[in-house]
Structure 1
Amino acid sequence: MKVFFNEIENRIWEFSVELEEGESKKAFSFNAGRQEMELQDTSCRFYFDFKPNFPHPDLLALGLLKIFSPFVHRKISFPYPISPAFNDAIKQHYGFFSDTVDENLLPRKSSSGRKAVSFSGGADSVAAASLMPDDTVLIQCCRVKHQNIPLRERWYKVDANKKTLENMPECYSKILVETDFEYLMWNGSYCVYPDNYSFTIPCIFLADHFDIDFIATGDIHAGLTGNETMFNKKFEPNGKALYKAVGLELDSPVKSISEVGTTLINVKTGLHEITTTCAYGEFKKPCMKCIKCFRKYLISAAVGEVSLDEAVLSRFFQHPPVIKFLTNTSRQGIEWIPTLKYIFNKIKNKNPIMRLLEEKVSIYPIDPGYVDKYYSPAVSGLSDVDVKKSVQSKIKNILPSMTDKEESEFQSLNTVKFFEEKKYNAELAEKVREIEFFLAIERYINNRSSEKRIKFNDVNYLVKKYFFLQGDLYPNIISTLASGLYSKVAGRISKILFGRR
C-alpha cells in the first residue's frame, strides 16, 4: 500500500491510498469484534480550526495505520520516512513493514509532558477528564459526511457531543477535529472502526502541536473486555506498545471503575447533566429508546438523580433494542449484570417487567457490592506518574475503594462457567419466557393488538406465580383485555388478582 498526503488551505489534511498487488478493499477490522468490512473510498480528510504544527513522521504514520492497517498485505509506504525504531514496532504489532525509513531519524519524544483526553462527550469520557490534571487537552474526533460516499447511519448525531465539549470547564483546552474517515469502512449495515482506538487519531496528529505524552481514553473496566462480568487481569488497552514507540502513553483514568462509578463522578462534579451518551438524541435530550438510554436511566435512578416513571418505562418496553436485551439468553444477555444487580439493590419498582428483570439478574451469583467503588490496583497501575497522582488525589474524594473481599469478588468474575450449567440455562429460559409474556401484554395495551397470541395456560401459570403482585399489576390490563379478544382470560386474571379466589 502507498499512502499520499495533501495539505489544503493549511487546515485540511487529505490522505489517499493506492492498493498494491495482493491487497483487497475487503478486510477484517482489527477492532473488537473483528468485523468484515469493505473500503468505500481511497481518501479521507481531517479538518482543523487552526493550522497545526506538522507532527513527527512516526506520529503521522501511527495515525495512518489506525485507518488503513487492515488493508495492508506485506508493506506500506508512508508520505514521509519513519524511524527504524517505529518500523520495528510496526513489524512486531502488525506483521508487515514500511519501506519508507530514514535510518538517521530518532524516535519521537515529548518534552513538556502535557496530557490529552480522546474526548467523546459520553459519561465515561467526561469522568475521565474530571480525574485528569487541570491543564489537560480535550480533543474530540467528530465525524462529517464524506464527499464521495453516500451518507451512512443517518440516525447518528454529533451535535450533542460537540455541545458537551463546549460546556466542559474552562480549565481544559477544548479542540474539535472533524473527519470523514469513519465512513471509509462499511460492513453492509453500519460504519466500522478499522483498528483499536482509531478515535484517538486526532490526538496522535496533534501530539506535537500540544507536546502531548499521554492520551487518556474513557475505558471503564468493562470496556477492556466488552463484558462487565469478565475480569481483565491486564487492565491495559490493546496495542499500547505502538503508542509508546512514538512517545505516547495510552491508558484510562477510569479503568478502575464501572459506569455507575463514572456516573457518580459526574454527579459529584456537577457535569452529569451535560454528558451525551446517546447517538440518536440531542443535547440534554436523549432518545430514550435505545439500550444505552435504558441503562443510563436506571443508573440515574439508582444514584438518586431521577425517579423511575411508569410511562417512561412503558415506552422503553416497546422498542426493539430494549426488548432484545430483556429477552436475550446469549452472552449479550448477561453483560452489565453486576450493574443491574446494584440498581435493583437501590430501587424497588412494582412494574412486573422490572420485577422479572430483577429475578433474571438474580440468577447470577455475583455480589455487586464493588460496583460503586474503585479498584485500587488499577489506579496504582496507571502508566503515567502525573496522571496516577491526579487520579489518586481526586477519586478518593468521590468514591470509596473496594475492600479486600470486594476485590476478591471482582477478580473472580467469569461468565463461562454459567453457560456450562444446564440448570442455569433452564432458569434463564424460563425467566425470558415470563418477560416475553408481559411484554406481549404491554404491546397489547399500547397498540390494542397482540403481536404474540397470549394463551390462557400462560396467563393462568403466570398470574398464579405472580399472585403477590395483587393490584400492583396494571389495573388497565384487566379493562383493556376485557374489552375484546381476551375477555375470558381477563376474567381469570381479575379473579386471581383482585380477591375473588
Structure 2
Amino acid sequence: MKVSVMSIDKVPTDLGIHGIRFYFELEEDDLAESVSTNAGSSKILLKERYCNFYLPLKISLPHPDLCAFAALKIISPYIGSSLKMDRAISKEMAEYIKGHYQNICNIDVDESLKPISHVTKDKAAISFSGGVDSVAAALLMGKEAPLIMTARTFHPEIGKFEQWNNPKAHIKTLQYMPYDFSKILVYTDFPYLSVNATGSFCVYPDSYAFTIPCVLLSEFLGIGNIITGDIMAAFTGNETIYNKRLTSAREEYLFKSIGINLDYPCNGVSEIITTKIVKDYGMLEMSSTCEYGDFMRPCMKCIKCFRKSIYKWALFDEALNEDQLKIFNESPAIIKFSEDESRKGLSLMPSYKFCFQIINYDFRGNLKKIYDRAMRYSEPVVWVDKKFGPAYISRNKILDEAIIKLNKYAPEMIEIESDIFKRLDWKVAYK
C-alpha cells in the first residue's frame, strides 16, 4: 500500500480552517475487500482511495510516524505485505508496526529520522465522543485535558448515506461541556471509506481509529496521553465475561510506538457508575448516547435509549410512563433484542438484572421477555455498582486525581464481590 499525506488549505468553511488528506494506492497484494480487525470481524469493502481531516487550527504536517499510525488505523485490513509512506518513517516505528501487523514486512524507513516516541509529550487529551462514558471520563480528568472529538462528515466522492446516523447531538454535547474545558472539533470523512457487505456504514475498520484526530494533533499540542471513556465491558464487549487486564494491551503496544499512553479512568467500572457520575455533574441529559435522535431529544425507541432509561429508573427513580413503555414495547429494535438469546443479546444482563431488582414494576410483552432473561442470569450482580480495584494498580500517574474522584461514586469490590466478578462466564450463568 502506498500512502501519501498532504496539507489542504482550501476547506469548507463550516468544517474547519485547515485540512490533512490521506491518499491510498493499492498494490498487487493489497485488498479492496477484507475483514474488519475491529469488534465484529465482519466483511468490509474499501469504497474510495482518499480521506480528509478538517481541523479548527492550522498545523504543519505531523511527524511521519504519526501519519503512518493514522493511515494504519484507516486502512490496515486492506494492506498486503508492504507499507510505503511518501515520507519514510523511523526504524523504531517500523519494528512496532511489524510486531502489531504481522502481514506487513516491507516498510520504507529513514534511518536518520528521530522517532516521534523520543519527543517529550506529557499532556493528556480526551478522545471525546459525547456519550455518557466519554463524558464521565472527561469530568473525572478535569479541565486540564482538552476534549478532541471526531465528527463524521460525508465524503465528497461517496455522497450521503446512512443519514440517520449523524453527529449533531454529539457535537452539541461537546459544546455544552463546562465552559472551562478546551474543545477541539475535528470533522473527517474517513469513517465512510469502508462499508460492510450490505453497503452500510461499518463504524471503524481498525480498533481505536476514533483517536486519529488526537494522534494527528499530539505533536502540535504536546499530547502524550490519550484518555478514552472505555468501561470494563469495552474490553470483552460483554459484562458476562471476565478480562483480567481490563485494558487493551495490544493497542497500548502500538500507541507506545508514537510515544503515547492509551488510558481509561473508567475501565474498572460499569455503565451504572458512569451514569451516576454524569448525573451528579448535571450532564446526563446533555450526554448523547442515542444515534437516531437529536440533542436532548433521544429517539426513545432504540435499545440504547431503553437501557439508559432503565438505568435512570433504577438509580434516580425516573420511571417511564405508560406511553413510553408502550412505544418501547412496540419498537422493532426492542422486539429484536427481546428475542436475541445469543451471547450479544446477553452481554449486559448483569446491569439489567441489577436495575430490575430495584425497579418495582410488572413489565409486559417484549419488555417482560427482556426482564425474564435478565432475571434468569444466575450469578450475583453485587459487583455492578462497585469498582474493580486491580484495574487501577500501576496506572499512569496522570490518572491519580481522576481515580480519587471516581472513589466517591464507586466503592471498591470486597473480596467476595471481586471473586464473583473474576469468575464471570455467561455459559455458566445461562446453562
TM-score normalised to structure 1 length: 0.81
CA contact (8 A) 1:219 1:255 kept: yes
CA-CA distance at 1:152 after TM superposition: 2.0
- Identity, in percent, stands at 38
Determine if the alignment matches structure 1 residue 154 to structure 2 residue 179: no
Q: What corresponds to 1:70 in structure 2?
A: 77
CA-CA distance at 1:376 after TM superposition: 1.5
Determine if the alignment matches structure 1 residue 175 to structure 2 residue 187: no
Q: Which amino acid aligns with 1:30?
A: T
Q: What corresponds to 1:219 in structure 2?
A: 230
CA-CA distance at 1:216 after TM superposition: 1.1
Q: Which amino acid aligns with 1:272?
A: L
**Which has the greater radius of gyration?**
1
Match for residue 303 of structure 1 among 290, 315, 327? 315
CA-CA distance at 1:355 after TM superposition: 4.6
CA contact (8 A) 2:34 2:77 kept: yes
Distance across 1 between alignment mates of 2:34 and 2:299: 33
Match for residue 109 of structure 2 among 101, 107, 118? 101
Q: Secondary structure of 2:6's partner?
A: strand
Distance 1:98 1:305, change over 3 A: farther
Q: Deviations over 1:98-132 (max 9, x none)?
A: 53211122222453511011100000000011111
Q: Which amino acid aligns with 2:63?
A: H
Distance across 2 between alignment mates of 1:125 and 1:327: 30
Superposed, which structure 2 residues align to 1:10-409 within 5 Å? 11-95=18-102, 96-108=104-116, 109-187=118-196, 188-192=198-202, 193-237=204-248, 238-304=250-316, 306-353=318-365, 354-382=367-395, 384-387=396-399, 389-409=400-420
CA contact (8 A) 2:385 2:410 kept: yes
Q: Secondary structure of 2:327's partner?
A: helix
**Using CA pairs below 8 Å that are at least 6 residues apart, which structure has the higher relative contact order?**
2
Distance across 2 between alignment mates of 1:321 and 1:313: 14
Q: Which amino acid aligns with 1:399?
A: A
Distance across 2 between alignment mates of 1:14 and 1:285: 34
Distance across 2 between alignment mates of 1:293 and 1:189: 26
Q: Deviations over 1:75-100 (max 9, x none)?
A: 11112111111100000110114532
Q: Secondary structure of 1:370's partner?
A: coil
RMSD of aligned alpha carbons = 1.5
CA contact (8 A) 1:379 1:391 kept: no
Distance across 2 between alignment mates of 1:268 and 1:75: 50
Q: Which amino acid aligns with 2:314?
A: A
Q: Which amino acid aligns with 1:258?
A: S
CA-CA distance at 1:398 after TM superposition: 2.4
Distance across 2 between alignment mates of 1:343 and 1:391: 26
CA-CA distance at 1:405 after TM superposition: 1.2
CA-CA distance at 1:53 after TM superposition: 4.0
Q: Secondary structure of 2:401's partner?
A: helix
Identify which range, 49-58 or 216-225, moves more after superposition: 49-58
Q: Which amino acid aligns with 1:2?
A: K
CA-CA distance at 1:381 after TM superposition: 4.3
Distance across 2 between alignment mates of 1:38 and 1:259: 33
Q: What corresponds to 2:12 in structure 1?
A: none
CA-CA distance at 1:358 after TM superposition: 2.9
CA contact (8 A) 2:353 2:377 kept: no
Q: Deviations over 1:226-285 (max 9, x none)?
A: 111111112112421110111001121110111111100101122112100011100000
Identify which range, 290-299 or 181-190, moves more after superposition: 181-190
Q: Which amino acid aligns with 2:78?
A: F
Distance across 2 between alignment mates of 1:380 and 1:58: 30
CA-CA distance at 1:146 after TM superposition: 0.4
CA-CA distance at 1:339 after TM superposition: 0.4
Q: What corresponds to 1:7 in structure 2?
A: 7
Q: What corresponds to 1:464 in structure 2?
A: none
CA contact (8 A) 1:78 1:98 kept: no
Q: Secondary structure of 1:66's partner?
A: helix
Distance across 2 between alignment mates of 1:23 and 1:411: 42
Distance across 2 between alignment mates of 1:317 and 1:355: 9
Distance 1:81 1:255, change over 3 A: same
Q: Secondary structure of 1:368's partner?
A: coil
Distance across 1 between alignment mates of 2:138 and 2:326: 35
Q: What corresponds to 1:456 in structure 2?
A: none
Q: Which amino acid aligns with 2:382?
A: G
Identify which range, 347-356 or 322-331, moves more after superposition: 347-356
TM-score normalised to structure 2 length: 0.94
Structure 2, gaps ≥5 residues long = 10-16
